[in-house]
């Protein structure tokens, strides 16, 4: 267990925990009378923080002004996962304020806030206690301030809706009236936290704090920032991974009015080894794009052009049929396979995927001799600062990172490559530069979801119970790509994932495949494939056993409730009680035990990841013998305590759409060392007309809360493929479903 860092995809050293090891809360003076509480680190967490290098300890600001303003600083990047609403919601709960009294402000990157990032669905789970303590500590100090003013004991005072009241009287002070006095008090280190039954805000549906700005077009995303004197860069990158420019002719580009400069990005000549490219810098975006088209570049592909889907497939096939690194070996699979008369062997295959967030990659840097200002969409503002230091030589405190709302992340913006380009170019030309990628740039220079192939072999015993399970996996490991010291299989396969531990003979082997194609974290890393193949293959075994897929899973999990060891992010254990519960509930909500409506077919899948439990039923209908419509998805999720009901449902619905979209049509193809797809016309994503009805149920739980940005995605592809098997007898073992080989059209 590495505290989940493996799944976070943090790279390029998002600032290691150079956090000030302050006491839990530190009170600092504020310009003008008022109270600022910055939450530092919990002592109990320091050890963990040190162990978990690269993972970030939580902190936040709460500002109550004498002017009546209550400002909660939102510290993490908002990428659509809803933290700008849900994290302040937790503080406000304990602070005892009406939500309408709160103003949420996005914090810039700020040392005193600790580390700030978005990844691994960790914000809520990692910050829940600290945020509550921040709210509660402030509330207790405000109560103390009131008790001193009234000269009455603390227990005669209580807080509610932004006021401190004196019991059995009509006396009250607003928080604004108490702010100055409270700011002079010692910080409450261990404030009393509310019980779940007393929650007024946590668990309620709260609309996104930026919604008004979003619907009026007034929301500033990274691409909208406009520092004075800004120029725009459009960069032509080597289309083949690993290549470099041999000859650049910029004559025509420089003739275009408005084009100012052409600058080569040579990986060997710059400190961050950016992808080789040529930047055209112009007075505005369109001119930069036009100038770029006028470039004539001869590339040296450095041998990268030989890579293709075909030779990757050859490599993967060889790997799954070779002896791999042994990751798990329970019992003796060979013996079990030899003894069994009911054995299935099947090969599953999953492609590279692009992230394709709606806001294209872009970043702005203003590098001056005395400091750097940067704006833009990123999941890792700390990485940006660190890279700015490397490029400019300026200390971190001279680098101001403005965090704008982010138009989607999905793991793509854990990589800050485009920010480095902006910083490098601004430093080179001495002006503020905005780098804007086109959609084609994004599609062809992503850090893709690793592709992989998996040989599955399963056996039943004489009682039709699952007795053996073997997986020989090979993927283009993302940890290998980044040159990490972590093992290649990290976040590619999960040796403790279900059904491991429930099959007496279980073997897992892994071999990485070599590739120059950049790989990165893609929503629910690893799980986005493993849930599909495990839950599909379980369905194959259930079918072989002649058992109902839900009953087969429940039988496998057993009647006794267990805590299963789980060494990955979301561990150290998972609960079979909670897993069985979501399975049972999903079956119930989807009327699984009743026959499906005539003409419809259902598939089931369930999964544990990142601490949350989810089960899903997909219902499809046959529109013709080869045309399938996805009609409905029912999902039941146990994520512990739900913070924002509306946000939670939104995340789960969105993950389901993303999972169906990628399962049906998602694929990045490599030919001659480059990506074939270029835009949304050939990288198809689900649209409204194909979006099924989605019904989400959240388990009422007292367990600690888990994030929800990723969980609903992984099992839905399996539930869909299992439904397709029911409908057609055809087992989908290669994604995407709508490929040339398959005769099916699923929408």
Partner 1 sequence: MPTFSLIINTETHQVDVSPDTPLLWVLRDELHLKGTKFGCGIGQCGACTVHLNGIAVRSCSLPVASAAKGKITTIEGLSKDGSHALQKAWIELDVPQCGYCQVGQLMSASALLIRKPHPTDVEIDAAMSGNLCRCGTYSRIRKAIKLAASKNG
Q: Summarize as ranges the residues that interact with partner 1 (CB under 8 A).
A: 78-82, 205-208, 210-212, 214-221, 223-224, 226, 232, 257, 284-287, 290, 356-360, 405-410, 436, 438-440, 646-647, 650-651, 653-658, 661, 679-681, 685-689, 691, 693-694
Phi, psi for 702 (deg, rounded to 5): -100, 0
Placement of tokens 């504020």 in the chain: 30
Separation of alpha carbons 476 and 603, rounded Å:
29
Give percent helix, percent strand, percent coil of the chain, each to the nearest 5.
30, 25, 40
User: Closest separation between CB of residue 246 and partner 1, Å?
Assistant: 28
Supply angle C-alpha 424, 426, 429, rounded to 5.
Answer: 105
Nearest approach, Cβ of residue 259 and partner 1 (Å): 12
Q: Rounded to the nearest whole angstrom, what is the least distance from the CB of residue 118 to partner 1 in the complex?
A: 11
63/75 Cα distance (integer angstroms): 13
Residue closer to partner 1 by CB (options 245, 649) is 649
- Residue 172: closest CA among 190, 152, 192, 201: 152
Closer CB to partner 1, residue 425 or residue 508? Answer: 425
Give the span between the Cα atoms of 418 and 377, in whole angstroms: 10
Nearer to partner 1, 9 or 291 (CB): 291
- Closest approach of partner 1 to the CB of residue 633, in Å: 10
Q: How far apart are CA 141 and CA 127, in angstroms?
A: 21
Minimum CB–partner distance for residue 619 and partner 1 (Å): 15
In Å, how far are 262, 665, 692, 721 from 657, measured between CA atoms? 41, 12, 8, 15
The residue assigned the tokens 């209908």 is 621
| Most distant pair of Cα atoms in the chain: their distance | 84
Closest distance of CB 617 from partner 1, Å: 17
Q: Are 19 and 57 in contact (CB under 8 A)?
A: yes
- In angstroms, the CA 504 to CA 494 distance is 17
Least distance from partner 1 to the Cβ atom of residue 217, Å: 2
Closest distance to partner 1 from the beta carbon of 257 (Å): 7
Backbone torsion region of residue 668, taken as left when φ is above 0, otherwise alpha when ψ lies between -120 and 50, otherwise beta: beta
> Is 448 within 8 Å of 412 (Cβ atoms)?
no
* Strand order through the sheet with 452-460: 325-330, 505-512, 466-475, 452-460, 342-350
396 or 408: CB nearest partner 1? 408
Four-point Cα dihedral 515, 519, 523, 524, nearest 10: 60
Cβ proximity to partner 1: between 167 and 293 the closer is: 293
The minimum distance between CB 224 and partner 1, in angstroms, equals 4
- Which CB atom, from 427 or from 697, has the smaller least distance to partner 1? 697
Hey, what are 522's tokens? 């893609």
State how far the Cα of 399 lies from the Cα of 401, in Å rounded to an integer: 6
Q: Which residue matches tokens 């503002």?
A: 381
Q: How many CA atoms lie within 13 A of 164 on its CB side?
A: 26
| Spatial distance between the Cα atoms of 375 and 223, rounded to a whole number of angstroms | 8
Q: CA-based angle 555:557:563, to the nearest 5?
A: 160
Hey, what are 364's tokens?
A: 């702005």
* Least CB distance to partner 1 at residue 315 (A): 31
- Start-to-end Cα distance in the chain: 39
Q: Which is nearer to partner 1, 357 or 450 (CB)?
A: 357
SS3 588: helix
Rounded to a whole number of angstroms, the minimum distance from the CB of residue 226 to partner 1 is 7
- Exposed / middle / buried, residue 255 (Cβ in 10 Å: 0-12, 13-18, 19+): exposed
Taking the complex as a whole, how short is the minimal distance between the CB of residue 258 and partner 1, in angstroms? 8
Q: Nearest approach, Cβ of 230 to partner 1 (angstroms)?
A: 10
Backbone φ and ψ for 604, nearest 5 degrees, come out as -125, 145
Give the separation between CA 585 and CA 615, rounded to whole angstroms.
Answer: 8
b or e along 542-569 (b: 16 or more beta carbons within 10 Å of the residue's beta carbon)?
bbbbebbbbebbbbbbeeeebebebebb
CB of 683 to partner 1, least distance (A): 10
CB nearer to partner 1: pick between 28 and 218: 218
* Nearer to partner 1 (CB atom), residue 92 or residue 142: 92
- Alpha-carbon span 105 to 651, nearest angstrom: 22
| Nearest-angstrom CA–CA distance, 383 and 391 | 12
Nearer to partner 1, 527 or 553 (CB): 527
Q: Cβ of residue 95: shortest distance to partner 1, in angstroms?
A: 22
Give the Cβ contact number of residue 734 at 10 Å. 16
User: For partner 1, which is the closer residue by CB, 462 or 680?
Assistant: 680
Task: Pick between residue 695 and residue 742 the one whose CB is nearest to partner 1.
Answer: 695
Least Å distance between CB 735 and partner 1? 18
Cβ-based nearer residue to partner 1, 197 or 689 = 689
Query: Cβ of residue 656: shortest distance to partner 1, in angstroms?
Result: 7
Least Cβ distance, residue 667 to partner 1 (angstroms): 16
Select 618 or 686, whichever has its Cβ closest to partner 1: 686
> Considering beta carbons, is residue 33 or 685 the nearer one to partner 1?
685
Separation between Cα atoms, residue 76 and residue 82, nearest integer Å: 10
Closer by beta carbon to partner 1, 364 or else 468: 364
Query: Which is closer to partner 1, CB of 398 or CB of 684?
Result: 684
Nearest to partner 1 of 174, 646 (CB atom) = 646
- Residues 29, 140 contacting (CB under 8 angstroms): no
Q: Residue 195 has what DSSP assignment?
A: P
Tokens of 247: 């000859």
């Amino acid at each position: 267990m590495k505290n989940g860092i493996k799944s976070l995809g943090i790279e390029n050293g998002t600032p290691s925990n150079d956090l000030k090891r302050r006491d839990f809360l530190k009170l600092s003076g504020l310009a003008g009378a008022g109270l600022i509480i910055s939450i530092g680190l919990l002592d109990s967490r320091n050890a963990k923080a040190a162990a978990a290098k690269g993972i970030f300890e939580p902190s936040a600001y709460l500002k109550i002004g004498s002017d009546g303003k209550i400002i909660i600083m939102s510290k993490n990047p908002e990428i659509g996962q809803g933290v700008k609403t849900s994290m302040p919601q937790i503080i406000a709960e304990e602070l005892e304020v009406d939500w309408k009294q709160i103003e949420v402000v996005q914090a810039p990157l700020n040392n005193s806030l600790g580390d700030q990032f978005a990844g691994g669905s960790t914000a809520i789970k990692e910050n829940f206690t600290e945020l509550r303590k921040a709210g509660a500590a402030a509330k207790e100090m405000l109560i103390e301030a009131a008790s001193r003013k009234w000269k009455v004991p603390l227990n005669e005072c209580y807080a509610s809706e932004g006021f401190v009241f004196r019991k059995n009287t009509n006396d009250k002070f607003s928080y604004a009236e108490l702010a100055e006095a409270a700011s002079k008090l010692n910080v409450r280190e261990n404030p009393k936290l509310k019980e779940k039954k007393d929650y007024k805000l946590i668990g309620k549906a709260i609309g996104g704090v930026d919604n008004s700005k979003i619907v009026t077009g007034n929301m500033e995303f990274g691409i909208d920032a406009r520092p004075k004197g800004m120029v725009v860069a459009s960069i032509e990158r080597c289309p083949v991974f690993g290549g470099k420019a041999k000859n650049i002719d910029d004559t025509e580009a420089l003739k275009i009015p408005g084009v100012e400069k052409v600058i080569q990005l040579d990986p060997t000549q710059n400190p961050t080894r950016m992808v080789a490219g040529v930047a055209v810098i112009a007075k505005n975006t369109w001119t930069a794009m036009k100038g770029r088209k006028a470039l004539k570049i001869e590339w040296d592909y450095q041998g990268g052009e030989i890579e293709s889907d075909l030779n990757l497939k050859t490599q993967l096939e060889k790997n799954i049929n070779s002896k791999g690194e042994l990751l798990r070996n329970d019992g003796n699979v060979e013996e079990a396979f030899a003894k069994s008369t009911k054995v299935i062997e099947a090969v599953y295959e999953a492609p590279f995927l692009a992230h394709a967030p709606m806001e294209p990659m872009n970043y702005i840097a203003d590098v001056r001799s005395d400091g750097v200002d940067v704006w833009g969409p990123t999941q890792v503002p700390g990485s940006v600062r660190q890279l700015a230091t490397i490029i400019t030589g300026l200390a971190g405190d001279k680098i101001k990172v403005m965090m704008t709302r982010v138009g989607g992340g999905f793991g793509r913006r854990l990589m800050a490559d485009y920010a480095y380009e902006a910083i490098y170019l601004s430093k080179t030309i001495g002006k503020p530069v905005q780098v804007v990628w086109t959609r084609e740039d994004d599609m062809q220079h992503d850090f893709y979801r690793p592709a992989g192939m998996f040989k599955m072999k399963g056996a039943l015993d004489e009682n039709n119970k699952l007795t053996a399970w073997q997986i020989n996996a090979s993927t283009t490991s993302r940890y290998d790509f980044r040159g990490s010291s972590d093992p290649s299989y990290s976040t590619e396969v999960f040796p403790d994932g279900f059904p491991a531990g429930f099959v007496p003979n279980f073997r897992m082997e892994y071999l990485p495949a070599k590739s120059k194609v950049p790989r990165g974290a893609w929503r629910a890393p690893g799980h986005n494939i493993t849930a599909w193949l495990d839950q599909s293959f379980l369905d194959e075994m259930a079918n072989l056993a002649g058992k109902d897929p839900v009953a087969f899973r429940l039988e496998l999990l057993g009647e006794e409730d267990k805590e299963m060891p789980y060494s990955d992010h979301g561990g150290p254990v998972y609960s079979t009680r909670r897993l069985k519960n979501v399975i049972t509930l999903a079956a119930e909500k989807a009327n699984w035990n009743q026959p499906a409506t005539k003409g419809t077919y259902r598939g089931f899948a369930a999964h544990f990841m990142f601490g949350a439990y989810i089960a899903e039923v997909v219902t499809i209908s046959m529109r013709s013998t080869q045309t399938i419509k996805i009609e409905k998805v029912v999902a039941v999720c146990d994520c512990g305590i739900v913070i924002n009901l509306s946000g939670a449902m939104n995340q789960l619905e969105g993950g389901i759409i993303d999972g169906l979209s990628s399962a049906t049509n998602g694929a990045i193809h490599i030919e001659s060392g480059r990506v074939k797809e270029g835009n949304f016309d050939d990288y198809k994503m689900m649209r409204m007309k194909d979006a099924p009805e989605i019904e989400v149920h959240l388990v009422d739980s007292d367990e600690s809360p888990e994030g929800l940005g990723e969980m609903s995605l992984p099992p839905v592809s399996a539930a869909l493929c299992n439904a397709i098997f029911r409908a057609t007898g055809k087992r989908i073992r290669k994604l995407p479903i709508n490929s040339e080989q398959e005769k099916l059209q699923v929408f």
